[in-house]
């Protein structure tokens, strides 16, 4: 080893020894700084796992729906009175799609503004019309419904479907059920305006918040043909989406491309693309998510910076004395930097160890309060971000503050 390298090694060892001596000297302060780094790491890991969880919950929602392909239209037809349901002849289109060899099934989904009423009360809410509910609904009470698609032969005509509700079953959102004071087995009436709210009577068969999760508002689930009948769109057969499942082994992207060519007036997306497009349509959600993650990072960094600036400030007398006896600023920065590394490492490890415990606790809480299961998800990337914050930010910040601490290492502190 060259003499220069040997001297550097000797200095490094001494710097590490000094840093540990300083840490040991004030165990209380060391514990508190470790705790502060732990909190910074936790704020990042918990917020990041919330972000991941929100996206995954959305994806799972679409996956639970079991649909590979989503067809919709973004063109707003000024002639149409129903911009929420831009697809016309939705059952016919579904029948056509089902006839393809690579599509196993296709079905429309409609959305309408809805008034739900009891004898005493009326609430304005949103309805989703589907052919059947599924296992992923997570019913709080009761169950779902199942209706015929009635287009199996592909020769669909509007006349095949009744213009009056036939199933007359509804799944209510828990919030709606509570505000109306109804439960499973009770009867409510529905309509698409306040005037028609008492025209059609439906039986409450279940209570679930499945669609409410995705739309962020109370949503009732109604059989599609009944909803169209109530809304008066049986004739035009309007829907918001037509969703399709591909046959096992079929290439989802290729089928989507084919369908896109076959229906040039509509947007055909795979479920992944649909998630992306739904998120893009909600810049506020994206912005708040990014703000949360940004704030947690900035908060973590600011906390760490303050912490190490404080550690360096508290050691200003020692630093000034070291400087006076001839130690260089690099050696001083090194002693603070190594303290930062050790504190960052310890805080990071404690923070990462506490993350799964707290995540579990918070998940239990959110499940009890808002009904989401496992809203916080912790893939390995979340841990990686937390560890990087603790170690890299901790050390870099400590080195910089140590370097700046050369400023503290001045006479005033020796004379005080």
Partner 1 sequence: MTRCVVGSIELTYGPMSDHALRRTTPQAGPTTTDERESPTAVRLEDVTHEYGSSGGRGRSSEDRTVTALRDVTLEVGAGETVGLEGPSGSGKSTILHAVSGLLVPTAGRIQVLDTADLTSLSDRERTRLRRHHVGIVFQRFHLLPSLSARANVALPLVQAGIDRSTRRQRAESLLEQVGLGDRTDHSPGELSGGERQRVAIARALVTDPDVIVADEPTGELDTATGADVLDLLTDIGRDRTVLVASHDDATLAVADRVVTLRDGRVVDDGR
Cβ closer to partner 1: 47 or 336? 336
Q: Which stretch binds partner 1 (CB under 8 A): 162-170, 245-253, 383-391, 408-416?
A: 408-416
List alpha helices for 65-142, DSSP H: 90-99
Structure tokens at 188: 């409510």
CB of 304 to partner 1, least distance (A): 23
**CA-to-CA dists, residue 138 to 62, 133, 134, angstroms:** 15, 10, 9
- 324 counts as binding partner 1 under rule CB under 8 A: yes
Q: Which of 148, 215, 328, 407 binds partner 1 (CB under 8 A)?
A: 328
Cβ closer to partner 1: 182 or 320? 320
Per the CB < 8 A criterion, the answer to whether 219 and 235 are in contact is no
Q: Which of 22, 176, 296, 395 binds partner 1 (CB under 8 A)?
A: 22
Coil, helix or strand for 308?
A: helix
List alpha helices for 187-325, DSSP H: 210-215, 224-231, 252-262, 271-280, 283-314, 316-324
Q: Tell the residue number behind the tokens 């989802």, with chain if given.
A: 252
Largest CA distance in the chain: 99
Q: Which of 44, 197, 320, 342 binds partner 1 (CB under 8 A)?
A: 320
Report the alpha-carbon distance of residue 206 to residue 268 in Å, rounded: 32
- 317 counts as binding partner 1 under rule CB under 8 A: yes
| CA-closest candidate to residue 221, choices 296, 153, 150, 138 | 138
Q: Which stretch binds partner 1 (CB under 8 A): 15-23, 208-216, 290-298, 342-350?
A: 15-23
- 31 counts as binding partner 1 under rule CB under 8 A: no
Q: Which stretch binds partner 1 (CB under 8 A): 22-30, 340-348, 352-360, 362-370?
A: 22-30
Structure tokens at 79: 């002639």
Which residues, at least 6 apart from 264, have a Cβ–Cβ distance to it below 8 Å? none
Which residues, at least 6 apart from 393, have a Cβ–Cβ distance to it below 8 Å? 300, 301, 304, 344
Query: Burial, 141: exposed, middle or buried (Cβ in 10 Å; 0-12, 13-18, 19+)?
Result: middle
CB of 7 to partner 1, least distance (A): 2
Q: Which stretch binds partner 1 (CB under 8 A): 285-293, 304-312, 327-335, 385-393?
A: 327-335
Q: Which of 7, 134, 194, 364 binds partner 1 (CB under 8 A)?
A: 7
Cβ closer to partner 1: 134 or 407? 407
CB of 322 to partner 1, least distance (A): 7
CB of 414 to partner 1, least distance (A): 6
- 331 counts as binding partner 1 under rule CB under 8 A: yes
The residues of the shown chain that bind partner 1, judged by CB under 8 A, are 3, 6-8, 10-11, 13-15, 17-18, 21-22, 24-25, 317-318, 320-328, 331, 411, 414-415
């Amino acid at each position: 080893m060259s003499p220069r390298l040997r001297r550097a090694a000797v200095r490094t060892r001494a710097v590490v020894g000094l840093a540990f001596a300083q840490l040991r000297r004030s165990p209380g302060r060391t514990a508190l700084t470790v705790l502060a780094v732990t909190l910074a790491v936790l704020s990042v890991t918990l917020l990041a796992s919330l972000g991941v969880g929100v996206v995954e919950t959305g994806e799972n929602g679409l996956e639970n729906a079991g649909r590979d392909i989503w067809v919709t239209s973004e063109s707003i037809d000024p002639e149409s009175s129903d911009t929420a349901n831009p697809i016309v002849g939705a059952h016919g289109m579904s029948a056509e799609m089902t006839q393809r060899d690579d599509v196993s099934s296709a079905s429309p989904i409609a959305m309408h503004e809805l008034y739900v009423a009891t004898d005493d009360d009326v609430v304005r809410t949103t309805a989703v019309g589907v052919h059947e509910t599924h296992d992923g609904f997570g019913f709080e009470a009761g169950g779902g419904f199942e209706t015929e698609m009635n287009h199996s032969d592909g020769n669909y005509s509007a006349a095949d479907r009744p213009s009056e509700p036939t199933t007359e079953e509804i799944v209510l959102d828990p919030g709606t059920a509570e505000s109306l004071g109804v439960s499973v087995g009770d009867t409510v009436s529905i309509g698409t305006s306040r005037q028609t709210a008492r025209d059609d009577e439906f039986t409450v068969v279940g209570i679930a918040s499945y669609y409410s999760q995705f739309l962020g508002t109370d949503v009732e689930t109604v059989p599609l043909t009944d909803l169209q009948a109530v809304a008066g769109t049986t004739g035009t057969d309007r829907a918001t989406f037509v969703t399709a499942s591909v046959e096992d082994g079929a290439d989802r992207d290729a089928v989507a491309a084919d369908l896109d060519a076959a229906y040039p007036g509509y947007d055909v997306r795979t479920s992944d693309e649909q998630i992306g497009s739904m998120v893009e349509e909600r810049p506020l959600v994206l912005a708040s998510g990014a703000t949360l993650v940004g704030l947690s990072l900035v908060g973590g960094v600011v906390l760490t910076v303050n912490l190490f600036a404080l550690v360096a400030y508290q050691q200003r007398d020692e630093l000034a004395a070291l400087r006076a006896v001839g130690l260089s600023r690099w050696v001083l920065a090194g002693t603070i930097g190594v303290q930062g590394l050790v504190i960052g490492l310890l805080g990071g490890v404690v923070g990462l160890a506490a993350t799964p415990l707290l995540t579990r606790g918070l998940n239990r809480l959110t499940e009890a309060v808002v009904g989401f299961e496992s809203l916080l998800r912790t893939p390995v990337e979340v841990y990686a971000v937390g560890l990087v914050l603790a170690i890299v930010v901790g050390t870099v910040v400590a080195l910089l503050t140590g370097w700046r601490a050369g400023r503290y290492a001045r006479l005033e502190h020796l004379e005080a």
